Amino acid sequence: MIYTIEIPSEMQKEFSKIASKNGKSENEFILELIREQIEDYEDAIALDKVIEESTGDFVDFDDSVKELGLENEI
């Protein structure tokens, strides 16, 4: 699918410069930004679901480490 968007010239100059510094085309850079935004959005939805389903019972990190026998691993 092809989308057309209007990008302000200053923003275009910035992302063009950043893409070039990272060895990517402008298209690759834009796709990467969109992909990251989608992942962030999906993570936020998953977090909201976990919070909504939470019982409010949380376990202290140090207690979890001890219970799992990982004291010497961390």
Is residue 15 within 8 A of residue 25, CB to CB? The reply is no
At residue 14, does pLDDT exceed 90?
Answer: yes
Task: Tell whether 18 is covered by a domain.
Answer: no
- Choice between 52 and 56, residue whose per-residue pLDDT is larger: 52
Task: Tell whether 61 is covered by a domain.
Answer: yes
Radius of gyration of the chain, Cα coordinates, nearest whole angstrom: 21
At residue 74, does pLDDT exceed 80?
Answer: no
- How many domains, in total, are found in the chain? 1
pLDDT of residue 73: 82
Task: Tell whether 16 is covered by a domain.
Answer: no
Task: Tell whether 3 is covered by a domain.
Answer: no
Please tell me the distance from the alpha carbon of residue 72 to that of residue 59, in angstroms, as a whole number: 19
47: Cα within 13 Å, side-chain hemisphere: 6
At residue 39, does pLDDT exceed 80?
Answer: yes
The residue range of the domain holding 36 is 25-73
- Tokens 């992909």 correspond to 35
